[in-house]
Copies of this chain bind each other. A is one copy, B any other.
Amino acid sequence: FFVCSAFRTDFYLLLKNKFFLFFTINFSRHSAVVISGTELARQIHREIQRDVEELVAHGNMRPHLGVILVGDDPASHTYVKNKTRAATILGISSDTVVRPSSVSQEELLELIDEMNRDWRVSGLLVQLPLPEHINERAVCNAIAPEKDVDGFHIVNIGKLCLDQRSMVPATPAAVWEMIKRAGIETVGKNVLVAGRSKNVGMPIAMLLHTDRNHERPGGKLILMTERKNKKFLFLFIDKYAFLFPLWSGVPGLITADMVKKGAAVIDVGINRNLDQHTGKVRLIGDVDFEGVKEKAGFITPVPGGVGPMTVAMLMKNTVTAARNALMH
C-alpha cells in the first residue's frame, strides 16, 4: 500500500515538480524559503506609519482604536496590551474600556452602540472570549461593520465569502499577506486547510476560493479537513501545494513525510510546550519545522511567523477603518 502510494507520488512529481531531479538522484538537499513574519510585519509597520502620518498631514484625525475588555482573564489582558502597544508605536491612538465579567449583555451592547456613534473611534474591537452569559455573535454583530477591525461582523464575513472588499479577520489576512509578499503563486494551486474553525479555517478557505481574475486568484481545489486526523492528512497532503495547519493543538502534527516537495506550508498553530531542561514554556507550531523545511518550498516559523503578522494586519484594518470614516 505504502510503496504503491509512494510510486504514485513520484509519478505525480515527475509530471509536476521541478524538484524531481533532486529527489530521485538523492544526493542534493533542498531547503525551503523561510518566510519571516517578523520581517514582513516590520515592513507593514513602516507602511502603516507612513499612511497614518499622511492622513494626519492632510488634516484628518489620527486613527483611533477603541478596545473593550471584559473580565480578568490574564491572556486577554496580555493580548489587549500587545495590540494597544503596537498601535502606539505606529502612531495610532487607542483606549481600552474595561468592564467586569459580571457586565450584562445589554450594558455591553449599549457601550458598543455608544462607541459606534463616537466619531473619534475609527476602529472598534471587543476582546474575545466573553463570559458564558454573553452571546458573542450578538456582540460581534453589534459593532458597526465599517469599524469592525476584527472582521467578525456577519456582513464582513458575508462579503469575504463573496469576494467583496471587506474587513478581513486578522489571522486569515496575515496568511494571505504572507503568501502575496513572499511571491507564492496561487493560481491553479491546490490548497489544504487543516482545521475547520469558523474564525480562521473557514475564512482562509474562502480567501482562496476565488477565480483567476480576482485580486486574490483562487486555488484550483480547496480542501478543508478536521485537524488531528493524522491518517487522513497523510492520504492527502502529498498532493497539495499549499497547506495551512491551524491550531491542531498537536505540536509537530505535520511531518516531512506528509508534505509534497516544494509545497508552501503556512503554520497557524500555536502550542505552549514546557521545556523539560530549562523549565521554560516554549511556543511551537503544528509543523515539524526542521523536518518539513528540508522538503517544502516555503515555510513559516513559530514563533516569528503568522503571529507578528496578525497584529500588523489588525493595525492595517484600523487605518482602513479610519479611511472608511472619511468616506462617510
What is A's interface to B at a CB cutoff of 8 Å? 1, 4-5, 7-8, 11, 137, 153-159, 161-164, 196, 198, 202, 205-206, 209, 211, 218, 220-226, 229, 232, 235-236, 239
Contacts and interface: CB of A to CB of B under 8 A. Distances in A.
A154 B137 CA distance: 16
B196 A224 contact: no
A196 B224 CA distance: 14
Contact of A5 (B8, B154, B218, B232): B8
Given A5-B8, A158-B161, A221-B224, 7 more contacts: A153-B158, A154-B162, A155-B158, A157-B161, A162-B198, A220-B225, A220-B232
A153 B162 CA distance: 10
Nearest to A161: B161
B4 A202 contact: no
8 contacts: A4-B7, A154-B158, A158-B158, A158-B159, A158-B161, A162-B198, A196-B222, A221-B224
Contacts of A211: 196
Nearest to A152: B162
A7 to B, nearest CB: 6
A156 B221 CA distance: 25
Contacts of A196: 209, 211, 218, 222
9 closest pairs, A vs B, by CB? A158-B158, A154-B158, A157-B158, A221-B225, A222-B224, A223-B223, A4-B4, A161-B161, A220-B226
Contacts of A154: 155, 158-159, 162, 164
B11 A1 contact: yes
B225 A235 contact: no
Nearest to A211: B196
Task: Output the residue of A7, A198, A221 with the most chain B CB within 10 A.
Answer: A221
A226 B221 contact: yes
Contacts of A221: 223-226, 232, 236
Contacts of A1: 8, 11
A136 to B, nearest CB: 11
A137 B164 contact: yes
Contacts of A236: 221
Nearest to A7: B4
Contact of A155 (B155, B209, B225, B229): B155
A104 to B, nearest CB: 22
A52 to B, nearest CB: 30
A209 to B, nearest CB: 6
A163 B198 contact: yes
A202 B198 contact: no
B198 A224 contact: no
Nearest to A235: B239
Contacts of A161: 157-158, 161, 198, 202, 206
